[in-house]
Chains A and B, each alone.
Chain A
Amino acid sequence: MLKCFTDNRFNTHGQRLTVHFDSPNLYGAVPEVSPAKGDPSSAHRPINTTTIMAVEFDGGVVIGADSRTTTGAYIANRVTDKLTKVHERIFCCRSGSAADTQAIAEAVSYQLGFHSIELDEPPLVQTAANLFKQMCYRYREELMAGIIVAGWDKRKGGQVYTVPMGGMLVRQPVSVGGSGSSYIYGFIDSNYKTGMTKEECLRFTADALALAMERDGSSGGVVRLAAITEAGLERSVILGNQLPSFSA
């Protein structure tokens, strides 16, 4: 249930604060009015205009992302880790505003930890995805966040859920996001097949991300990959000079 108290305090930007007490943590104060479009200060907030991707296979998921964070034309971080753990076997891939997605991931990570203690069992990927969706949908006007949630649980195995900007939730066998994703829809559609092994998924993800990074100016750096299965988590990095290359 949403309980909303309008506090007569103002934040440092002179915006009225509305404090929402519907989540079991203190993170909930958001400015009531988001910065106006064209506000010069918002043009240089760090964002992950990026390419992120996740693929299901029998027994787990493979997730991947590029590593560029930009503030305007400057690359603030060229080795960003956009693959964020929210629980032992559940990760999220973050695109959009770096601050927004970090804050959302922390909040969901807290909620999942609490939930998992109450349940006395690892949480479901679908639960994590729904928590992301609830937050992204409720605060859709204030947030700029496109998130892919992926992981393994013992009920449904490997699952990928996408929560794009606006706050919809849908499960897909393969999902891409971020600014670089437009360029690889054709490649994904033509190259994905069901029943791929973990190694094939890793190769597929690395190829797709390399292609996107080549074409999208806002994606680049290294490719970070992770494979999540019942057995655990395997992370890897492909450096720039080791990326797959294509003749064009």
Chain B
Amino acid sequence: SEEEECEHQAESSSHSSDRTTIIAIAFEGGVVIGSDSRVSAGASVVNRVMNKLSPLHDKIYCALSGSAADAQTMAEIVNYQLDVHSIEVGEDPLVRSAATLVKNISYKYKEELSAHLIVAGWDRRAGGQVYVTLDGLLARQPFAIGGSGSSYIYGFVDAEYRQGMTKKDCQEFVVNALALAMNRDGSSGGVAYFVTIDKDGTDEKCILGNKLPTFFDE
């Protein structure tokens, strides 16, 4: 029928989640990684509840931005490679290993792919870590932001970040940053997902739109 055809067409058009906001921050003993939930194709919101935080291993997650197809495929491939690697070494993989695998794909296929993954997690050797793999580079940072919505929160994160933040501070930081970006960026919105990873485990949370922090003009 006509309706089905229209839906099919919408799904097959490019889903870009370059139009997104992703953020990750490390604290002593773990990381918090967060994203919005909007996938838009032009002016249409194709998925308003997409979780852009993808597990690469038990205690290593990545946040997807850029072309949704490219990013999801990269995450799946690295997930597989990490499984094999962790069996071979007989223990949980390092976050740096996961980030290096992502970087290798990003760099080798940099002309064909357009996806930017932020890798964050906890391991026994170096605790909480955040890595950026934009354009095929690999860099560890205390925190990282990405996606179209990130432009609007550079000032906020620069001003608010301090060393030695606790887990709760980091969670608030992530939720506030996402809420601010979602308010200003038309391509980010929906709900805020965030995952807290530390030595005790992985805790996934979702904050609905009406429970997000509000600011002076709302």
Contacts and interface: CB of A to CB of B under 8 A. Distances in A.
A182 B215 contact: no
B162 interface: yes
Most A C-beta atoms less than 10 A away, residue of B154, B180, B181, B184: B154
A194 B216 CA distance: 8
Given A183-B151, A183-B152, A211 B159 contact: yes
Given A185-B180, A185-B184, A192 B155 contact: no
Contacts of B176: 190
Contact of A211 (B142, B154, B216): B154
A218 B157 CA distance: 20
Contact of A187 (B142, B155, B162, B217): B155
A215 B184 CA distance: 18
Interface string B63-83: 000000000000000000000
A191 B217 CA distance: 11
B9 interface: no
Lowest 4 A-B CB distances belong to which pairs?
A: A186-B156, A184-B155, A186-B153, A187-B155
27 contacts: A182-B151, A182-B152, A184-B156, A185-B153, A185-B155, A185-B184, A186-B152, A186-B153, A186-B180, A186-B181, A187-B155, A189-B156, A189-B215, A189-B216, A190-B160, A191-B159, A192-B215, A192-B216, A211-B155, A211-B159, A214-B158, A215-B154, A215-B155, A247-B161, A247-B163, A248-B157, A248-B158
B36 to A, nearest CB: 13
B23 to A, nearest CB: 11
A56 interface: no
Interface residues of B, number: 24
B202 interface: no
A186 to B, nearest CB: 3
Given A183-B152, A215-B154, A189 B183 contact: yes
Most B C-beta atoms less than 10 A away, residue of A184, A207, A212, A215: A184
A212 B158 CA distance: 10
Contacts of A189: 156, 180, 183-184, 215-217
A244 B159 CA distance: 10
A190 B215 contact: yes
Interface in A198-243: 207-208, 211-212, 214-215
B177 interface: yes
B158 A193 contact: no
B188 to A, nearest CB: 12
A208 B158 contact: no
Interface string B203-218: 0000000000001110
Contacts of A191: 159
B82 to A, nearest CB: 30
Given A183-B152, A187-B155, 4 more contacts: A190-B215, A193-B216, A211-B158, A215-B154
B216 A246 contact: no
A182 B184 CA distance: 9
Interface string B183-204: 1100000000000000000000
B92 to A, nearest CB: 30
A125 B28 CA distance: 52
Nearest to A183: B154
Interface string B9-20: 000000000000
B194 to A, nearest CB: 17
Interface in B24-42: none
A248 B158 CA distance: 5
A56 to B, nearest CB: 13
Nearest to A244: B159
B186 to A, nearest CB: 12
A215 to B, nearest CB: 5
Nearest to A191: B159
A188 B151 CA distance: 13
Nearest to B215: A189
A195 B115 CA distance: 44
